[in-house]
Amino acid sequence: MTDSFRQSQGRKVVSRATAEALGELNHMVVDSSRRHVTAVVVGEGKKHAFLVDWEHVSGFGPDAVMVESKETLRSPADDQEQAAVEGKLELVGKRALSERGNEKGSITDVEFDPESGDIGSVLVGEERIPATNILGLGSYAAVLASPHDDQ
Amino acid sequence: MAMSTLGWVIVAVVLIIILVVVVVIVRRRRRGGGVIATRHEE
Amino acid sequence: MKLLVAASAITGLPVVTVAGGEDVAEVRDVIYSPELGSLVGLTLNKRGFLSGRRRQVLPVELIHAIGEDAVMVRDETALTEPGEAPREVGKPATERNVLGDDVLTEGGVSLGKVSDLVLVVGSKGEVVGYQIEKAEGGTAYIPLPAQLSVSGSALVVPPATQEFVRDDLVGFGAAVDEFRERLGMS
């Protein structure tokens, strides 16, 4: 089963304990190797956005994202998480730059498994690229590995 | 001041042009840049 | 076939880290050694609309790749203090510039004056040719041999160079390859 970052944008986040609506999913946070989703960002803005670690996401469904309870919402713990919460590390829309210094376009979507949180591919234009080909991700660009014979 | 609206528009446009020119000049001077070829002293 | 770009087109490009995806600087000057036939390094500006010079420089060995949209470095440690970089990069010359020099064939024919360098995209600053202002007007591109004789204020090139002068960069890559093959055979 696969879901995508673009499709999950804006999805309702609901507390499993109380069925309370906690906000909307605005960003997905990925780990440094780009293999897993590590957290989701609920809400918008510097002060009203919170993180929910993936372990506390009990069900990532097509219509709603269920989190264990309201208590699992937490604030960013460091600069990296703060940048993620502000959307600076958002993969969708990020400039895709090859390690050879040529722009390949923008990342249009990211495919992942909503049960495990494992990330599959990113889409750049028409091309599907394994997310592990992302050598670096920052506020300016996602740097993609180049095959040795490519430019 | 007894100046027509047209007069004020002209003043505004001239000020904007001056601002743009100043910004372009300052930017060129601060950022410079070009190709330099070295040659060792003989 | 290789993609080519003029050195002047590299100026102003962002310097981006592969590891961090951050634009840490911008290219200011491209520093070239005619003796070596390749770049020795880049000086930098800070990122930002009105920002000025950045103190650190980028020696060519620490460049990961030069592309059409960015100059890539492994990480921010590639940016070197001027005191720790080769002199030509840390304190670049502003005189004795090969740009503007006459290009003469060994037979005494002037092809024009050097106006820019031609680099291989994706390389670390490999220079394969010069852009010249032709005596009669207009620009053209001439391939560089591996060894170039640099003396006084003129560059002396083999007579065969004349046959490989091109008007644009599109066909120039092939001309460079053919020119080098020709030199290899003679």
Show me where the domains of chain C are located. 4-90, 102-185
With an 8 Å Cβ cutoff, are B36 and C92 in contact? Answer: yes
- CATH number of the domain at A95-144, out of 3.30.70.20, 3.40.50.1360, 2.30.30.240, 1.20.1630.10? 2.30.30.240
Percent of chain C with pLDDT over 70: 93
Interface membership of C14 toward A (CB under 8 Å): yes
For C56-72, what is each residue's pLDDT tens digit? 999 999 999 999 999 99
Considering chain A, tell me which residue range(s) the CATH 2.30.30.240 domain(s) occupy.
3-85, 95-144
The pLDDT, as a whole number, for residue C186 is: 46
B–A touching, 3+ CB–CB pairs within 8 Å: no
On the question of pLDDT at C106 being above 90, the answer is: no
- The verdict on domain C102-185 having CATH code 3.30.360.10 is no
- The verdict on domain A3-85 having CATH code 3.10.620.30 is no
Which C positions 35-54 lie with beta carbon below 8 A of chain B?
A: 35, 40, 45, 49-53
Write down the CATH superfamily of domain C4-90.
PRC-barrel domain (2.30.30.240)
The pLDDT, as a whole number, for residue B2 is: 67
**pLDDT category of residue B42 using cuts at 50, 70 and 90:** very low
Tell me which long-range contacts A93-96 makes (C-beta under 8 A, separation of at least 24): A94/A137, A94/A141, A94/A142, A95/A140, A95/A141, A95/A142, A96/A122, A96/A124, A96/A141, A96/A142, A96/A144
Confidence (pTM): 0.87
Task: Evaluate the CA torsion angle A16, A22, A24, A29 in order and state its sign.
Answer: negative
Q: Of C147 and C172, which is predicted with more confidence?
A: C172
Residues of chain C contacting A101 with CB distance shorter than 8 Å: 13, 16, 65-72, 121-122
On the question of pLDDT at C185 being above 70, the answer is: no
Q: Which ipTM did the prediction report? A: 0.85
